[in-house]
Amino acid sequence: MQKRKLGNSDLEVSAIGLGCMGLSYGYGPATETKEAIKLIRTAFEHGVTLFDTAEAYGPYKNEELLGEALAPFREKVVIATKFGFEFNTEGGQSGMNSRSDHIRIVAEAALKRLRTDVIDLFYQHRVDPDVPIEDVAGAVKELIEEGKVKHFGLSEASALTIRRAHTVQPVTALQSEYSLWWREPEQEIIPTLEELGIGFVPFSPLGKGYLTGAINEATTFDSKDFRNIVPRFTAEARKANQTLVDLLSGIAAKKGSTSAQIALAWLLVQKPWIVPIPGTTKLHRLDENIRAADVTLTSDELREIEEAVSKIEVHGDRYPAHLQARVGR
């Protein structure tokens, strides 16, 4: 597996990481623990060194899973986790909380669940409108000075917020959605990251599975699957967006690869400091995603993709309104 550095930092990771959320949360029933551990360890054996989790995934269960799975080779991997929410007794989110004292509490608990003495990359999961970002950055800076955290990250933050945080504690990475069907970061976010030397870790690089071609208008999701409330995943939107999937499928067929691999290879070629984190619960999909790092898109192929995508209107918002309100603050 090729390696990349996140921005100007010294944090070197595999060119493709593993988003672990879906093993515990968000896409239906949690994967059986033994199988989830096997998948995580197989990813490591195939060169993946960046593993992404959060206290919110479960909550807590995904961090515990990673702690157990990665314990045998903890020093050889980079673990990213997140803070920023509070949870009720039923495990649901009860609001945002990025106050300094709460960040410290979350960090201490995450260290125990992850079975480690340091968090490699600590993201604010969503920007808290009630807490100045300078205070958030300052709290993480203290944890870095104490050796409990190595790097500070933000998720779904605006360009202005990134700049404000960066003046207090250098931001190593921004995690936000970015893919061939969500290119908004190209407008302000990517230029800002490039200027400041910050890495970019796109989540949902395969459009929550849609860009793989495995989902169509007739697909039904588990009752616990997050996609049931996403406007972009209504049957009508899936039917309307099939044009994009067909485009990827055609290019993939000519290269002897898969649609997923083309989508990931496209992301990798955008900037050398972009590290996508596709998630999966299936070993064959894991292998497919990892092999995307070996797919090279020619300038002609990139031009073909760009020209075709520019003519496609993607239908449906990527979040329901109440979740979209948390983005870009």
pLDDT tens per residue, range 210-228:
999 999 999 999 999 999 9
**Domain assignment present for 329:** no
Alpha-helix runs per DSSP H in 79-232: 100-113, 133-145, 159-168, 189-196
For residue 171, the domain's CATH number is 3.20.20.100
**Domain assignment present for 188:** yes
Residue 15 pLDDT more than 90? yes
Summarised one tens digit per residue, pLDDT across range 138-162 is 999 999 999 999 999 999 999 999 9
**Domain assignment present for 81:** yes
Residue 73 pLDDT more than 90? yes
**Domain assignment present for 217:** yes
**Domain assignment present for 108:** yes
Could you give the CA distance from residue 141 to residue 220 in angstroms, rounded to a whole number?
Answer: 45
**Domain assignment present for 84:** yes
- The verdict on whether omega for the bond into residue 59 sits within 30 degrees of 0, i.e. cis, is yes
**Domain assignment present for 78:** yes
Q: Spot the catalytic one: 25, 27, 57, 178.
A: 57
* SS3 assignment, position 30: coil
CB atoms within 10 A of CB 48: 24
Q: With 0-12 CB in 10 A as exposed, 13-18 as middle and 19+ as buried, what is 240?
A: middle
Domain enclosing residue 190, as ranges: 3-324
Note if 57 is an active site residue.
yes
Residue 230: the pLDDT is 97
Summarised one tens digit per residue, pLDDT across range 175-193 is 999 999 999 999 999 999 9
**Domain assignment present for 114:** yes
Q: What does pLDDT average to over the chain?
A: 97
Q: How many domains does the chain have?
A: 1
Work out the pLDDT band at 319, boundaries 50, 70, 90. very high
Summarised one tens digit per residue, pLDDT across range 241-280 is 999 999 999 999 999 999 999 999 999 999 999 999 999 9
pTM value > 0.95: yes
Residue 90 pLDDT more than 90? no
Both tokens assigned to 157: 């933050």
Cα 52 to Cα 36, 59, 233, 254, 294: the distances in Å are 14, 14, 24, 33, 22
Q: Is the dihedral of CA 243, 244, 248, 251 positive or negative?
A: positive
Candidates 279, 302, 272, 246; CA nearest to 18 is 279
Residue 321 pLDDT more than 90? yes
